[in-house]
Structure 1
């Protein structure tokens, strides 16, 4: 498994993880509440500026993580252009790109352990009520770690397909990718069992 954290050191990595998550929540809420296409365009310019501030390497590394968004954005634009609502499609696509880009910026500048600590503190009231929050506390960082791993394996499968066929991969890699994901999940389950499993209440 790999982490989404950036190899480029920035000042934001010294900021408190809770503060960054709170700022992300406020910015995301604002992007959904504020109307107008220009709001999303200005927000995109600001987000790109934040990515560019630490330097070229950080910008390239961050944009590489966001490449998976472009097919969805293009699909939204094509569909809304087809139904005659291109402006609405652009608004929705930009909003999605902005929100995911901001979330990616937080994960790039925050260690997984720091994010896990924030989640642990947020779930403390639920833990006192006796709710099984330990499983959620374990699941959230696992999802963050496995997403880039699965994306990397999907790219490797697509490259292997292109090396053997002139046709596009399309849905042909879905089954092998699903089998790889299940295999990873099986190995992870074995590793967790070897370490005593996950406490339903989480550790205090």
Structure 2
């Protein structure tokens, strides 16, 4: 449960993890000033093309953004009420592009490889006797668990919809928090059994 990695032999899987993470950061900075809906829509189409290059299973990973539907609708509505529908569309497209890009990195990068890519950032910690793998593992888990938690929320929402006919509810917050805590406990136990951050590669 600690990975949504999609096993493939594609060009995306062969790219160095560090390059993918740097590219993701650069894309985030480049998207912030973007304000043209047509440009953002074209970028979204390009990102969907990346998933399409992974085949049918790759396109299925786009469903990871479904739990964001309500949040995106609220953002759009608030901008619309505020008098600027265009700004709302821009905000929604920007979020979709960023979430899908982050998820793409997750599904095309093994966790061990991502950890190795992040660890050098914390290498100076060795000077004070601390292991750089522990903070690197924390960063890696954050990157990895964003799509995992989105998938958890999607399952809860679908179950709620099947039982009540409603699309979603604030009542899902409590079971979502409980499942997130349970998931963190399972991951902590698995990491402890494997020797923690230092034993992850074994």
TM-score between the two structures when normalised by the length of structure 2: 0.79
User: SS at the partner of 2:32?
Assistant: helix
Give the C-alpha shift of residue 90 in structure 1: 1.1
Farther off after superposition, 88-97 or 143-152 = 143-152
- Which structure 1 segments of 5+ residues have no match? 200-204
Aligned CA distance change for structure 1 residues 22 and 183 (closer, same or farther; 3 Å): closer
Aligned CA distance change for structure 1 residues 47 and 141 (closer, same or farther; 3 Å): same
Aligned CA distance change for structure 1 residues 93 and 56 (closer, same or farther; 3 Å): same
Aligned residue in 2 for 1:114: 113
Larger Rg: 1
Give the C-alpha shift of residue 85 in structure 1: 0.8
Aligned CA distance change for structure 1 residues 42 and 7 (closer, same or farther; 3 Å): same
Aligned residue in 2 for 1:202: none
Farther off after superposition, 139-148 or 8-17 = 139-148
Whether contact under 8 Å (1:80, 1:86) holds in the other structure is yes
Aligned residue in 2 for 1:72: 71
- Which structure 2 segments of 5+ residues have no match? none
After superposition, give the CA deviation of every residue in 1:10-57 in whole Å (9 maximum; x if it has no partner). 121111111122222222221123443332122222222222233343
Aligned residue in 2 for 1:83: 82
Aligned residue in 1 for 2:60: 61
Give the C-alpha shift of residue 106 in structure 1: 1.7
Give the C-alpha shift of residue 120 in structure 1: 0.6
Return structure 1 stretches of 4+ with deviation > 6 angstroms. Answer: none
TM-score between the two structures when normalised by the length of structure 1: 0.79
Aligned CA distance change for structure 1 residues 91 and 130 (closer, same or farther; 3 Å): farther
Give the C-alpha shift of residue 79 in structure 1: 1.0
Looking at structure 2, the residues matched to 106 and 75 of structure 1 have their Cα atoms a distance apart, in angstroms, of: 27
CA RMSD of aligned residues (A): 3.0
Looking at structure 1, the residues matched to 177 and 15 of structure 2 have their Cα atoms a distance apart, in angstroms, of: 37
How many residues were matched structurally? 200
Aligned CA distance change for structure 1 residues 52 and 117 (closer, same or farther; 3 Å): same
